[in-house]
Structure 1
Amino acid sequence: MSFTAEVKNQICGAQWKTCCRKVQLAALIQMCSTMNITSQGMHIRIQSEHANTAKHIWKLLKEFYQVEPQLSVLRKIKLKKNNIYVIRVNSRALEILKDLGIYTEQGLQTHIPARMLRRDCCAQGYLAGAFLAGGSVNAPQTTNYHLEISVGEETLAKFLCRLMNRFYLPAKVIKRRNQHVVYLKASDKIADFLRMCKANDALFEFEDSRIQRDFLNSLTRLDNCELANEMKSLSAARRQLEDIEWILNYRSLDSLSPKLQHVIEVRRAHPEASMNELCERCYEEYGEQISKSGMKHRLAKLREMADQLRAHTDE
């Protein structure tokens, strides 16, 4: 089962208030249905590829409108060849659309009235219904985080975007072929959306995977940082040894000051030592306490002497 299917199953199985269930049904009918008028009257045809979503719609219709929806199952013959669940409502179709705010005297509406979503719980229920209708979310084990809701109308997409922004979910809208897609990319905001939709088990799985990935990424960054520092130290030590060789080719060790002699001796004896380790060796071997900045100063002095000798040789 895909992670998206798990999330939808948990939304359908969650405990929602009556008002929230009603706006969920409104979102599902608005995004998943077509209205047909025949000689027998008006009827609504609702379809979904997710079995529990279809069952959820069927139960909500019976709960609120005491109708007897007809359920049929079709099978795709292309691509994944999965089932399509079709619910047909033949009675009270117009009454249902009017009660849900989808149809008014001005005709079909792109979204339900704002008054139906004044309460935060209803707005969250509507977004959960929209996700059931056209949503998907990447599994947390994948390389990127992405949650989206696809709708046919740009006006509805912008309405969903504003509704998500109301809960500090920075959704954006793009057009993909003939669909308008409302999407979230930030992992913490996707977690907030799952929490809002009461997909608690999916939320725990998502957060657990996210924490593990972030932890492993932090370890990798630390390892890379330590490796880079080590390579940098080795490269600096190699240059310092080259400088020392240049100096000793032209001058005797005794001609240098004792402080420089100490640095040369410990560097030659410990070619892979870090700056801090050189300071410790100076103290252990010569009883001289020297700071890291003092060691850098002496090595810079050796570099300056070596550069002067190189310049003199080039002349």
Structure 2
Amino acid sequence: MSFNSEVKEELVSLRLGESCCALAEISALSLCLASFSIRGRGEVLLNYTSLSPTVAKRPLRILRFFGYKNIGMSTRRDNRFGGRRFTVLTLSGNDARAMMQRVGVLRFEKGEFKFRNIPQRTVRRICCQRAYIRGMFLGVGNISPPEKAYHAEFALPDKKRAEFLQRTLHLQNMEFSIYKRRGSYIVYSKNSGEIASLLATMGAVRALLHFEDIRMLSQVKTEVQRSVNCDQANLSRQIATAQKQLEHIDYISKLVGLTALPESLQQLARLRISYPDYSLKQLGSILEPAKSKASVSRMFKQIEEFANNISEHKPTTSREVKT
């Protein structure tokens, strides 16, 4: 089972809270999954259609919560989409009219019923905002497995519904963006913190714990890799620096001999030959007397200058080099 399916299965199993929250959730599900038609003698049919039998259980449960008992349930196959099966819940007659008017998505205009956007009052309370977001996710939401990518989105058919959801998420301190994709408006986030907040807001506790475990492991791996990369870079620089120092020392040794250096620089040069892999700090600790890392660095600069003077054929004596 995918992570997205696990999240939805957990949300479907949550108990229903107050009636206002159940109304907010079924309002969101109505915007995502519902369609209506009018058959002979003006009978209204309200259908909730879902490709997921698991998701279909949620509107069924809420409809029963509001006292609707005569709910038709069927499984159909759509040959236009490779014969995929989908589940349809049906309310008819007065029950359908009452339910649509209850959620505020049905209006009578020019002799026919039409859908309208959810009234703002539906998400006035904090608990109802959370329920509305949960219903939207069950209907049109998708979340990627945290092992692969941080991505959560809601795909909505029009801009008004997308902006309403975006504002509702903002009321819960979550910042999601909107973009258009193949005729749909996508409300999305790639921020792991926002996605964790989304799971918490919807009540997907098990999914949140799994998500946080993966996120923490990923952060640890990133920090370890960064540290390893940093250590490798430092080691590479240390090796390159030591190699350059040895080249200067070898050059001096071959042309004029290390005895041409002041005693302190001779000592450092011989230590570098004996300990080519030592850092400046380590070399400083075994000098007599001991020197700081900065002092050792300055001494190597003096050795480099001495070598450069030789290469330019400038006579240099030990008295000309400061220690």
TM-score, with structure 1 as normaliser: 0.92
2:285 counterpart of 1:280? yes
Q: Following superposition of structure 1 onto structure 2, how do residues 154-193 of structure 1 map, counting pairs within 5 Å?
A: 154-193=159-198
- The alignment's C-alpha RMSD in Å is 1.9
- Retained in 1: the 8 A contact 2:36–2:44? yes
Change (3 A) 1:205 1:81: farther
Partner of 2:305: 304
Please name the residue that 1:127 is paired with: 133
Counterparts of 1:74 and 1:183, CA distance in 2:
31
CA contact (8 A) 1:5 1:50 kept: no
Task: Quote the Cα distance in structure 2 between the aligned partners of 1:311 and 1:81.
Answer: 85
8 Å Cα contact 1:110-1:153 kept in structure 2: no
1:149 to 148, 154, 172: 154
Deviation, structure 1 residue 135: 0.5
Alignment counterpart, residue 52 of structure 1, candidates 37, 54, 58 = 54
Which whole-Å CA distance do the structure 2 matches of 1:161 and 1:196 have between them? 14
Residue 254 of structure 2 aligns with an amino acid whose one-letter code is: N
Match of 2:9 in 1: 9
Instruction: Please state how far the C-alpha of 1:82 moved relative to its aligned partner.
Output: 4.5
CA distance in structure 1 between the aligned counterparts of 2:78 and 2:312, rounded to whole angstroms: 80
- Aligned mates of 1:110, 1:252 — CA distance in 2: 93
Count residues with an aligned counterpart.
308
Name the amino acid aligned to 1:215. V
Confirm or deny that 1:30 pairs with 2:35. no
Answer yes or no: is the 8 Å Cα contact 2:123–2:168 preserved in 1.
Answer: no
CA 1:11–1:195: 2 relative to 1, 3 Å = same
Alpha-carbon distance between aligned partners in 2 of 1:310 and 1:132, rounded to the nearest angstrom: 77
> For 1:104, which of 107, 110, 115 is the aligned residue?
107
Can you list the C-alpha shifts for 1:91-135, whole angstroms capped at 9, x where unaligned?
222221111011235674553111121110001100000000000
Q: 1:29 to 1:273 in 2, by over 3 A?
A: same
**Residue 188 of structure 2: SS of its match in structure 1?**
strand
Specify which of 252, 255, 263 is matched with residue 258 of structure 1.
Answer: 263
| CA–CA separation in structure 1 for the residues paired with 2:265 and 2:80 | 80
Question: Which sections of structure 2, spanning at least 5 residues, go unmatched?
Answer: 315-323
- Distance change >3 Å, CA 191–CA 305, structure 1 → 2: same
Mapped to 2, the partners of 1:22 and 1:227 lie a distance apart of 58
2:120 — aligned with what? 114
Q: Match for residue 276 of structure 2?
A: 271
Q: Is the 8 A contact 1:125 1:197 kept in 2?
A: yes
- Secondary structure of the equivalent of 2:73? strand
Q: Among the aligned pairs, what percent are the same residue?
A: 27
Shift of 1:38: 2.2
Structure 1 unaligned segments of length 5 or more: list them.
Answer: none
Query: Which amino acid is the alignment partner of residue 6 of structure 1?
Result: E
Question: Which residue identity lines up with residue 103 of structure 1 in the other structure?
Answer: L
* Partner-residue secondary structure (3-state), 1:66: coil
In the alignment, the residues of structure 1 paired with residue 10 and residue 83 of structure 2 have an alpha-carbon distance, to the nearest angstrom, of 24
Residue 299 and residue 109 in structure 1: after superposition, are their counterparts in 2 closer, same or farther (change >3 A)?
A: farther
- Measured after TM superposition, the shift of residue 72 of structure 1 is 1.1
TM-fit CA distance, 1:250: 2.4
Q: 1:100 is aligned with what amino acid?
A: V
